[in-house]
Amino acid sequence: MKLARYYAGGELRIEEAPVPACPAGGLLVRTEACGLCSGELMTWYLDRKAPHVIGHEVAGIVVESEDSRFPVGCRVVPHHHAPCGNCELCRRGAFVHCPTWKSTRLVPGGMAEFFAVSAELLTDTHRADDLNPRDAALVEPLACVCKQIRRLGNPCGDSVAIVGLGVMGLLHMQLLEGAVGFDINEERVDRARRMGLDARENSLEHKFSNIVVMPGSEKAVEFALDIAAPDATIGLFAPLAPGAAPLHPWEDYYFNDIKWINSYSCGPNDTAEAISHIRAKRVKALDVVSDFIPLDALPMAYGKMQRGEILKAMVVFD
Ligand SMILES: [Zn+2]
Ligand SMILES: [Zn+2]
């Protein structure tokens, strides 16, 4: 089978590899769709695990099954990590810090014609026979958005500003009706407006009590601080690169009572919420995926998405 392997420095290669075996108690899945995640464009982060097969925003058809809940022929959306559900961290809902969550993964990864889903991962795997595979492949990124919104305390739309109108910003806007979205890129602002969203080029005209910053960039965090009302909550959806730090003086954050909320990945509660939004058609792949491509076109699309030339690529397998 074919797969896409990431090499340090941001190089992606399409390679041949054997189809993985069906794990004991798990599934072997034929991939139908796999989104290219914005997080996979952070080369400093990916270089730490290179070389490896990328892809985790997946939907596919079960071709071998050792679990009767997921019979051969059904469509599944597995999360690429799943928690044990019993440890101290799981009991308080900190699923992404559970050692089982961290040790589980899809084999070899989602950007492959087939992938194996271990028995542990089935606790966060959904049946999605009723969904189009392209929409189903949005469950994981949307679940990360659900987590961020929950951690902000489910704020009401008009108190919220979204900084950055790439794909993750648009997904936030779709779930936070009335939120105001900002971007420095005119094209992105226009696209969001065409979707009926309140999108603006960066301006300091209004202050907001809840702000979510999409890109892991100092400039974006500084802009969030500029539009933050006193006592505002700022959610960081992506990490800043190692060594990066916003230029604002730290004492400003203190005297303004700024609350920082980090939100890393998502747990089973979030995937369950995300799939319900997709079933309700609040979010569709066609709204946020600009390029549906074959696997062979992924190395090219990777560079384009990284440079901001395309919104989001999704590989569709035939
Ligand atoms: Zn993702
Ligand atoms: Zn656990």
Distance from residue 210's CA to the centre of ligand 1 (Å): 23
Among residues of the chain, what percentage have pLDDT more than 90?
90
Distance from residue 257's CA to the centre of ligand 1 (Å): 31
Total domains in the fold of the chain:
2
Same domain, 167 and 211: yes
Give the separation between CA 272 and CA 249, rounded to whole angstroms: 40
Among residues of the chain, what percentage have pLDDT more than 70?
100
**Residue 120 scores a pLDDT above 90:** yes
Distance from residue 148's CA to the centre of ligand 2 (Å): 20
Distance from residue 72's CA to the centre of ligand 1 (Å): 26
- Averaged pLDDT for residues 159-165: 96
Q: Torsion over CA of 215, 101, 172 and 218, rounded to 10 degrees?
A: -20
Distance from residue 254's CA to the centre of ligand 1 (Å): 32
- Smallest-distance ligand from the CA of 102: 2
CATH assignment of the domain containing 120: 3.90.180.10
Q: Give me the chain's average pLDDT, please.
A: 95
> Which residue from 59, 99, 62 is spatially nearest to 79, judged by alpha carbons?
59
Q: 262 vs 143, 158, 181, 212, 306, CA distance in Å?
A: 15, 21, 19, 10, 23
**Residue 303 scores a pLDDT above 90:** yes
Distance from residue 130's CA to the centre of ligand 1 (Å): 22
Q: Supply the DSSP string of 256-301, one letter for each residue.
A: TT-EEEE--S--HHHHHHHHHHHHTTSS-HHHH--EEE-GGGHHHH
Same domain, 101 and 52: yes
pLDDT value of position 246: 75
- Smallest-distance ligand from the CA of 312: 1
Residue 150 lies in a domain: yes
Residue 270 lies in a domain: no
CB neighbour list of residue 253: distance below 8 Å, 6 or more residues apart: 225, 260
Beginning with the edge strand found earlier in the chain, give each strand of the sheet holding 228-236 in spatial order: 198-201, 180-183, 160-163, 208-213, 228-236, 259-262
CB 271 within 8 A of CB 121: no
- Averaged pLDDT for residues 191-220: 95
Same domain, 110 and 170: no
**Residue 157 scores a pLDDT above 90:** no
Distance from residue 95's CA to the centre of ligand 2 (Å): 6
- Averaged pLDDT for residues 114-135: 98
pLDDT value of position 244: 87
- Averaged pLDDT for residues 17-46: 96
- Averaged pLDDT for residues 120-149: 98
CB neighbour list of residue 86: distance below 8 Å, 6 or more residues apart: none
CA 304 to chain centre: 18
Give the separation between CA 211 and CA 217, rounded to whole angstroms: 15
Distance from residue 150's CA to the centre of ligand 2 (Å): 20
CB 281 within 8 A of CB 20: no
- Smallest-distance ligand from the CA of 110: 1
- Smallest-distance ligand from the CA of 86: 2
Q: Which domain holds residue 190?
A: 145-262
Neighbours of ion ligand 2 (CB under 5 A): 83-84, 87, 90, 98
Asked which of 17-26, 66-75, 84-93, 157-166 is least confident by mean pLDDT, the reply is 157-166
pLDDT tens string 74-83:
999 999 999 9
pLDDT value of position 253: 84
Helix (H), strand (E) at residue 198: strand 198-201
pLDDT value of position 158: 78
Distance from residue 142's CA to the centre of ligand 1 (Å): 9
Distance from residue 268's CA to the centre of ligand 2 (Å): 12
Q: 288 vs 45, 195, 259, CA distance in Å?
A: 24, 10, 30
Same domain, 55 and 113: yes
CATH assignment of the domain containing 205: 3.40.50.720
93 dihedral zone (left: phi>0; alpha: psi -120 to 50; beta): left
pLDDT value of position 163: 98
pLDDT tens string 84-117:
999 999 999 999 999 999 999 999 999 999 999 9
153: three-class secondary structure by DSSP: coil
pLDDT tens string 226-275:
999 999 999 999 999 898 887 777 788 889 999 999 999 999 999 999 99
pLDDT value of position 251: 83
Same domain, 289 and 242: no
Whether the ω angle into residue 249 lies within 30 degrees of 0, i.e. cis, is no
Give the separation between CA 109 and CA 112, rounded to whole angstroms: 6
Distance from residue 89's CA to the centre of ligand 1 (Å): 22
Model pTM score: 0.96
Same domain, 28 and 133: yes
What's the residue count for the chain? 318
- Averaged pLDDT for residues 176-195: 95
